[in-house]
Homo-oligomer: A and B are copies of this chain.
């Protein structure tokens, strides 16, 4: 519950002081369920043993992510809304990286009894705002007591032709959507109380998953795809390892988030771009011949795509360095700046 309050909210109402312990388990469930809202058509959401829904008969996708206080988020700078949004968005990003669309989700909340109900309400706000943003209803969930807050989401999606990590072929172009390093810059700014750099902080707190971009890439012929959650170098490593290929990356072509220039005294922008995690951009490979179509179609939905290198049958290299060396040193180096 950090962050500025408007003057009208400076005096806490009773509801803002109320804790989860006072609400009780069933009170908490009621609060969750009442927020989920009505199921469309003949679907059944919360209130039965399991949710019921249908989707077009494509291949099904299933993923889960859990965020834990003190490990994955810090309430000194993240509001409940931020935490709920990010947990949902991280799951959506995994579906996007398959070229799929998110459809329905369940959520679990584990909360200390001392948690303020107002924080829980914010958290549900964030979860449901993200759920609406990507058209993937939260259809149920579970709550339990715990020592610290954790939020889990499991998300079902579908795709006509899922794009795996393992399909990259020598000669394919390697591309990334948007820009890199912003989320790591935002994290540093939040942790060290840097003023301003709002866009970098937003990238850390309210990430946007690239669903339409993933669908466009799948349709345009992407051979492999992954979302950048662990950092460009690590996720590229996952992709080339799964595909059994090598790569050459031109460091100068990496689309470094321009807003990182404002943090240049604290962080090397290129290092944030290569090693920083949680950008939730898509890293994909595609045959040379399909690159033009991909670029045009992504530009049509307002998203830049940058070619950063080529898949090879040799070693995996990032500039003049082997990718292995980068993966070992990159992130730790960044953290100890």
Contact = CB atoms under 8 A, between A and B. Distances in A.
Interface residues of A, number: 58
A154 B157 contact: no
A159 B110 CA distance: 30
B150 A64 contact: no
A34 B156 CA distance: 23
B147 A148 contact: yes
A71 interface: yes
A67 B146 CA distance: 10
Contacts of A51: 61-63
B144 A71 contact: yes
A97 interface: yes
A47 interface: yes
A50 B100 contact: yes
B97 A49 contact: yes
A71 B157 CA distance: 32
A71 to B, nearest CB: 5
Contact of A162 (B52, B64, B106, B157): B52
A256 interface: no
B49 A94 contact: yes
Given A44-B162, A62-B104, A144-B150, A68 B98 contact: no
A94 B148 contact: no
A328 interface: no
A156 B60 contact: yes
Interface string A156-191: 110100101110000000000000000000000000
Contact of A57 (B57, B65, B67, B154): B57
B146 A150 contact: yes
